Amino acid sequence: MYSYLLPEFTIERSEDKCIRCRVCERQCANKVHEYDEDLNKIFSSNELCVGCQRCVALCPTNALYVHPRVYDYRPNSSWTRDKVQNLKKQAETGGVILTGSGNDKPYRIYWDHLVLNASQVTNPSIDPLREPMELKTFLGRKPDTLEITFEEGKASLKSQLNPNVPIKTPLVFSAMSYGAISYQAYKSLAMAAKEFGTLFNTGEGGLPEHMREEFGGNAIVQCASGRFGVDSDYLNSAQIIEIKIGQGAKPGIGGHLPGEKVSANIAETRMIPMGTDALSPAPQHDIYSIEDLSMLIYALKEATNYEKPVSVKIAAVHNVAAIASGIVRAGADIVAIDGIRGGTGAAPLATRDNVGIPMELALAAVDKRLREEGIRHKCSVLAAGGIRCSADAIKAIALGADAVYIGTAALVAMGCTLCHKCYTGKCNWGICTQDPFLTKRLNPEITSQKLVNLLKGWSHEIQEMLGGMGINAIESLRGNREHLRGVGLEEWELNVLGVKGAGE
């Protein structure tokens, strides 16, 4: 334990309410609470608490109150508490400060500065409870034109189409690997995607063999730098194959699943020996250029008989538009862009908080570039990183996304409280851990329903907002920036977003 570090949270227990049931003690994997039999009293070690609120939520008498401890040092706008505390930690270890989840720094969240349009007078709004309101979306490459033949006045399709995957709602679960998250959490995502008719993403941890038949039809499988779990059967079991180049939470760096987490099942799924560290290199070592990427794209297409769209996921970095255009020209059918607020199981804090650009700007730039080059229809664009609610999702679509990836929002639906300690393996909510005592807290039957509810609720909200704009099919909003206006944005930001200011 670090010396001289101040606790980040304060735990208050109403002694008169506490019934000494010891639930809190059992629930906290950080061993904050401890029961003293002699005194018949629960003691808490504040310095161990990460503020995950598990004990608070489960205390049967509401005796607990865990809240962030105020800034105890002399107030200082430059030397904030986390800067000071991190320095102290580093002074003791010389290590890299790790963190989990997504960037919590106050970069501008553009979603909160964009407002949507609605119909008044000149065109009618449409009530989604009375009229069809279509959210069906296709992911993949679209042709320039269709060839249609007529026989006795009957039209038939002659063109051969590139593979496209239909989803019932433009919401897709983003990449979270088995290993980074628990089997229960992973399976919940798969079950929810299947039930609702959308997709989940296996991340780079493989897809357990016994799940392939049942959930392959709703899976995006990743082929990442570590190539964990990749074989022909894995690729062919899925709907979409995604080459992971980068991740919004940690652009430019790889991943590291510590050996302690590599249990027998994970080892089998990832195709590595049990207990060994699973190291994902920073780059894919067979991709040092766009030509190399093209070769991998076509290798994967060959391996799957050109029956599956291939996606390439990149972190939103400075020249993301040019990169995306190269990716489409290299043959990708889908481009996924992960912004600076994207989540992770573990990343160096310095990288997570400082590398990359906001997804909203990246998305607008990519959509514009692809249109200018006349290749926007040759790929679908998936936007990821910091989509918190249906309004964010619909704004992303108006900015040009075909669909959005939701990661953190799905975790929150499963119980996550954003304590940012995913990398410790002690997730009290059973999501980001492999400890069977913790993972059994998630019951996929129940958790998957929460995820289905999330998809359902968001979809309804998207339908309401679409109807308000007088639009009854989601494709008519895609890239339709006329339906967005900016509030409180600088001139250059409006220009990059390609959106007029409110009242303009």
Partner 1 sequence: MLVQKHFESDRFIPDKEMDACGLFGVMNTKGEKFGGSMAINAIKNMKVRGSGLGGGFAIYGLYPEYKEYYALHIMYQNKNLDAKRRVEAFLKEHFYVVYDEEIPTNPDVALFFPPIVWRYYVAPQKKSEDQAIPDDEYVVTRVMYLNTNVDDAYVFSSGKDVGVFKGVGFPEEIADYFMLDKLYQGYIWTVHSRFPTNTPGWWGGAHPFNILDWTVVHNGEISSYGTNRRYLEMHNYYCTLHTDTEVLAYAVDLLMRRQNLPIEIVSKIFAPPMWDAIEQMNENDKKLFTALRMTYAPLLMNGPFTVIIAHHNEMIGLTDRIRLRPITAGAKGDFVFLSSEEASIRAVCPDLEIAWTPPGGEPVVVRMNSQDHLLSVKKSI
Q: Which does 446 bind (CB under 5 to 8 A by kind): ligand SF4, partner 1, none?
A: none
What's the rounded Cα separation, in Å, for the pair 43 and 51? 16
Among residues 40, 122, 232, 305, the one that binds partner 1 under rule CB under 8 A: 122
Choosing among ligand SF4, partner 1, none, which partner's interface includes residue 55 (Cβ < 5 to 8 Å by kind)? ligand SF4
Calpha distance 375→370 (Å, rounded): 5
By CB atoms closer than 10 A (0-12, 13-18, 19+), residue 393 is: buried
Least gap, CB of 19 to partner 1 (angstroms): 55
From candidates 75, 124, 281, 436, binder to partner 1 by CB under 8 A: 124
- Comparing CB distances to ligand SF4, the nearer of 56 and 190 is 56
Q: Does 427 bind ligand SF4 (CB under 6 A)?
A: no
Q: Does 496 interact with ligand SF4 (rule: CB under 6 A)?
A: no
**Structure tokens given for 91:** 């002074």
Q: Which of 337, 366, 351 shows the shortest CA–CA distance to 496? A: 366
**Measured distance CA(231)–CA(347) in Å, rounded:** 27
Residue 31, interface with partner 1 (CB under 8 A)?
Answer: no
Name the minimum Å distance from CB 24 to ligand SF4. 3
| 402 vs 482: CA distance, rounded Å | 17
CA 406 – CA 169 distance, rounded (Å): 12
Q: Which does 23 bind (CB under 5 to 8 A by kind): partner 1, ligand SF4, none?
A: ligand SF4
Q: In the bound complex, what is the minimum distance in angstroms from residue 99's beta carbon to ligand SF4? A: 16
Measured between its terminal Cα atoms, the distance across the chain in Å is: 57
User: Does 477 sit near partner 1 (CB under 8 A)?
Assistant: yes
Whole-number minimum distance, CB 387 to partner 1, in Å? 20
Closest by Cα among 402, 233, 392, 395 to 333: 402
Q: Please, what is the minimum distance in Å from the beta carbon of residue 310 to partner 1?
A: 18
- Residue 252 is which amino acid? G
Residue 497 binding partner 1, by CB under 8 A: yes
Among partner 1, ligand SF4, none, residue 368 binds (CB under 5-8 Å by kind): partner 1
Shortest Cβ 48–ligand SF4 spacing (Å): 7
| Pairwise CA distance, residues 396 & 70, whole Å | 36
- In the complex, least distance from residue 335 CB atom to partner 1, rounded to whole angstroms: 16
119 with 495: CB under 8 angstroms?
no
Distance CA 158, CA 181 (A): 45
Which tokens belong to 452? 């289905």
Backbone angles phi, psi at 331, to 5 degrees: 115, 5
Task: Please list every residue from 350 through 409 that binds partner 1, using CB under 8 A.
Answer: 368, 371, 374-377
In angstroms, the CA 146 to CA 469 distance is 30
- 422 binds ligand SF4, rule: CB under 6 A: no
- The footprint of partner 1 on this chain (CB under 8 A) covers a number of residues equal to 52
- Please give the angle made by the CA atoms of 241, 244 and 248, to the nearest 5 degrees: 130
Binding of partner 1 by 60 (CB under 8 A) = no
Q: Is 15 in the site for partner 1 (CB under 8 A)?
A: no
Reduced to 3 states (helix: H, G, I; strand: E, B; else coil), residue 233 is: helix
* 483 contributes a contact to partner 1 by CB under 8 A: yes
Q: Name which of residues 2 to 61 contact ligand SF4 (CB under 6 A).
A: 13, 18-24, 27-28, 30, 32, 42, 49-55, 59-61
Binding residues for ligand SF4, how many (CB under 6 A)?
27
Q: Is 500 helix (H, G, I), strand (E, B) or coil?
A: strand
Per-residue binder mask for partner 1 (CB under 8 A), 414-453, x = binder: ----------------------------------------
- The torsion defined by the Cα of 159, 161, 166 and 170, in degrees rounded to 10, comes to -100
Choose the stretch contacting partner 1; rule: CB under 8 A; options: 200-208, 210-218, 332-340, 496-504: 496-504
Rounded to the nearest 10 degrees, what angle do helices 359-372 and 390-399 cross at?
30
Alpha-carbon distance of 243 to 329, in angstroms, equals 15
How many CA atoms, within 13 angstroms, populate the side-chain half-sphere of residue 316? 27
159 binds partner 1 (CB under 8 A): yes
Only segment of 101-109, 135-143, 254-262, 265-273 that touches partner 1 (CB under 8 A): 135-143
Q: How many CA atoms lie within 13 A of 264 on its CB side?
A: 1
Residue 299, classed as helix, strand or coil, is helix
Count of all residues that appear for the chain in the document: 504
Q: Max Cα separation, the chain?
A: 93
> Which of 61, 76, 90, 123 touches partner 1 (CB under 8 A)?
123
The one of partner 1, ligand SF4, none whose footprint includes residue 63, by CB under 5 to 8 A per kind, is ligand SF4
Instruction: Candidates 258, 449, 480, 502: give the one binding partner 1 (CB under 8 A).
Output: 480
- Chain positions contacting partner 1, by CB under 8 A: 119, 121-124, 126, 131-132, 134, 136, 138, 142-143, 145-146, 148, 150, 154-157, 159, 161, 164, 368, 371, 374-377, 469-473, 475-483, 494-500, 504
- Chain positions contacting ligand SF4, by CB under 6 A: 13, 18-24, 27-28, 30, 32, 42, 49-55, 59-61, 63-64, 66, 428
